Each structure stands twice: as C-alpha cells, then as structure tokens.
Structure 1
Amino acid sequence: MSVHHAARAAGRVVAIGAIALTTTLALPTPASAHAEVQADTPRPRAENVTLTFVSEAESDSAGFTALRVVLPDGIAPDDVTLADAPKDWKLEATDDGYTVAGPALKTGVDAEHKILIRRLPDAEQLVFKTLETYSDGRIARWIELPGGDVEPEQPAPVLELSAASPAATPPDPGSSTSSTAARATGAPPRGKAAAAEKDGPFTGPVVGSVAVVLLVLVAGMWWRVKRRGSSGTG
C-alpha cells in the first residue's frame, strides 16, 4: 500500500468514526410527558403560597381542555384561588379539589396554571393527583403515588416541603424564580431537568467509548502511514 493510499484509508477511518459519533449523539432516548408542581415557598405552614402546575402535552392530534387536581389533606378547595391560567380558562371548586378549564389549547402546547394557597399543611410532602383532559376526549391520569420498588409510570405531581434552615441566606436577586424554587425543593431547574431527561443516563459513557475507539484507529493508521513512508525513503 502506498503512502498516498494509506493516508486516504486513514481519512476514511476518521470520517467513519465521526459519523458513528454523530449517530450516537443523535440517538433518541426514552422520554415521556409528565405533570409537575413547584412552589415559591415550599415550607410547612407557609402562608399565601403560589403553586405552579405544568402538564406536558403528549397528544399529536389534540390539545388540553381541562385539568382536574385533587388536593392533599390539609388544603381545602376554599383555600385555593386561581392566580394564572391559559386565556379564558376558569377555576371551579370540586368536593376534593378543583378543575381549571377553558378553550382547547393548540396541539403540543403544555398546560400551565398557578394557584394561590392560603396556607400549606404541616407535612413533608404533598401529592396532587392530576387528570388531564384533551379535546378529543382522552384523559391522562397522573395519579400514581410515589414509593415502592417499582417506579410509577404515571406519577402524581409531588411537592417536597422542607423547613427553612436557620443559617439560610436570601437568594440572589438576579436569579430566576424557577432556579430559586428548584434550589428550595432540591430539584434541578426545569430546563436542566428536561435536558437531563433528553440526554439519558448512558449518553456520556457511550460517547466516551466511541471517542476512544476512534482515537485508537486513527493512531494505528497514522503509525502505518509513517512506517511505510520511512521504508520508502530508506
């Protein structure tokens, strides 16, 4: 094999390795829509707390028309006031919680609403079972309770509460509300959490393995090119 042909072969190896690495990065990872809740003051017995609920759209043909939330023990329907919701959506109290509903959202648009709670109960966590209704009549039930050996497929939104530390310092005024709530609840900000779910837990090791194999192949081809070049010169 001439030096020229060996160099071309090495180039092909590099190209193939690059394609393999790109394909690995582009592989889809399992992801599912879910419902979640956050609070601006996630502490037991906190007063006038704003809760933010986000239901991720999972239908390819219909939009949200209603969300029904079952309140946990210690929060009465009369203690809830609607703070924000999609345009023309209204809140209606039920026996065990409330429903917020209105004109159908566009397909693929997440449903987000906020409520004001008069006072949170004295608890470590609060579970808000949520039923999502789409314009085609489909109902997604995010009502499974956490705990046990098996991770629930459709877990209910859970708000973790923790007492404020005596040495706690006020948050940086320049930080965003979502980042502040994430630090208080011990969860990553929504954007980072979505990115982590998208990347998946195995992307890093797989990419590292492909990179190592690519480097070994390129080094081997370069050594062969250099050796043949030296032999030809001799």
Structure 2
Amino acid sequence: MRRRLRHRSAAPLLALGLVLGAAGTAAAHVEVESPTAQALAVDAEVAFSAEGESSTAGITDVKVVLPAGLTPADLTLAKAPAGWTLAPTADGFTVAGPALAPGTAADWTVRVRQLPDAGSLVFKTLVDYSDGHTDRWIELPQGDTKPQHPAPVLALAPAAPGAIALPTSDVTLFAYTSSPPASPSASPSPFASAPAVAAGGGEDGGSTTAVVLGSVAGVAVLAALVVLVLRRRRSAS
C-alpha cells in the first residue's frame, strides 16, 4: 500500500515538473552565433534567430542595436526571409519584410567587415509583430540574477596572433540591403578617380594659354609679311 501511495503521489509531481520544464524551454528568445566568432576576424558571418512567440501574429521586422566597434556600414545582408531587406538606423539596423507566418522564427545572417577587438558583443533586439506587439530582448545579467528578456550575446575568442584592425573608412563598403536603396548623401569616396583640373587652372589653363600665345604669334608673322610685301612694291616703283 505504501509503495502504491508513493507512486500515486509522485506521478502528479512528475507531470508538474514536465509542464514547468516545457514552459521554460518554450520561452521565445533571440539567439546569435558565428562560425568565426573571434576578435578582429575579417569578413565574418553572424547569424541571428528571433523565435516567433505568437500563435496569431507573425514577425514583421527586427531592430538591432550594434555594439561598440560596429557601424551599419560594416554590414551586408547575406541571408534573410524572402522579401526581407536590411536598412541602417541611428544605432544599428533593421531587417524587415512581409509578415512571417505565426510561430515562425525570423532567421537572418549578416556579413561583417571585421569584428571588434572585444571579448563579447551584445546585440539588444526588438522584435515587432503584425498585431503591433513588440518583444524587447534588451536586458543584461545583473549579478547572479538572470534576466527574463536577455539580449543576445556573441562570445568572441581572442584575436589571432598578428591580427590588426582594418583602417576605418567613410565609404560605404557594404550594401545595406539585398536590393540597394537610394543611399543618403555621403562624403565623396576617397577611392573615386581624381577630378579633372578645373578649367582656367592647372594643365587645362596652361593649354589655353599656349593656344592664345600661338594665335598672337601667327597674327604677328602675318603682319610682318604684309609689311614686307608693301616695301618691295614701293622699291620696285
């Protein structure tokens, strides 16, 4: 009888534990990973996955805040759901497109010009749904307390021996979207061809001066010939 009572009392506890465990693992979140997660890695691919937690609304866009050492110009969109594009923001970027099916995760990958020289990178993320709801994955651990909505963090291995940071540039080296949009006004590219010398100066100005001097000399020679012909006619008469 005691054994039967023990089995009967243990069954509800086991079922409750399974339910609680399933609820914990089913919580939606955003993950980030990279096969080249190393400080100062060049041309590194970083993959994100935002789980769809709604059963009635789909994800329409995801906003990401870039960590120190990265700018939108360092990124290009390598992979995303059909019709989704990447656009820069003041503090990071947004990937957006047609609403995904309810419960479907938003998976996208960006290619980074060079990862910063850091031990880890925090990507605070907002996930927007078609019904107007927003999931905020922006919290960081405080001591031993685990946040309920943790921001995705990418741990980086130490930089390879001899690795150096690439020189910064004001030029947009990487496309913001899979289909480039109209880009905002930007400073002239240092890689562009050197502009021609302005008219009236430099080589063009020298050429113009030479033409003028040549014309004057031609007129002078012609006048001298006319004078010579007139003198000969006078002496002959």
TM-score normalized by structure 1?
Answer: 0.60
In 1, distance between residues paired with 2:144 and 2:15?
A: 34
Of all paired residues, the percent bearing the same amino acid is: 47
Distance 1:13 1:91 in 2: 60
Backbone CA RMSD of aligned residues: 2.5
In structure 2, the residue matched to 1:133 is 128
Residue in 2 aligned with 1:156?
151
**Which one has a larger percent helix, Structure 1 or Structure 2?**
1
Deviation at 1:165, TM superposition (A): 8.6
Moved over 4 A (4+): 9-22
Which residue of 142, 159, 172 maps to 2:137?
142
Relative to the length of structure 2, the TM-score reads 0.59
1:150-182 CA deviation, whole Å, 9 max, x = no partner?
22111111011112799xxxxxxxxxxxxxxxx
2:41, 2:159 within 8 Å by CA — same for their partners in 1? no
CA distance in 2, matches of 1:23, 1:55: 29
Partner of 2:47: 52
CA deviations on 1:199-229 (whole Å, 9 max, x unpaired) are xxxxxxxxxxxxxxxxxxxxxxxxxxxxxxx
Distance in 2 (alpha carbons) for counterparts of 1:60 and 1:95:
32
Shift of the alpha carbon at 1:83?
A: 0.6
1:98 counterpart letter in structure 2: F
Other-structure match for 1:86: 81
The one-letter amino acid of 1:101's match is A
Cα offset, 1:23, TM superposition? 3.3
* Structure 1 unaligned residues grouped into runs of 5+: 1-8, 167-234
Q: Which ranges of structure 2 fall in alignment gaps of 5 or more residues?
A: 162-237
Which has the higher relative contact order, 1 or 2, with Cα contacts under 8 A spaced 6 or more apart? 1
Find the partner of 1:74 among 69, 72, 85.
69
Superposed CA offset, 1:66-117 (max 9, x none): 0011110101100100011111001111121111000000011111110000
- Equivalent-residue separation in structure 2 for 1:26 and 1:146 (angstroms): 26
Give the greater-gyration-radius structure (CA): 2
2:15 pairs with 1:23: yes
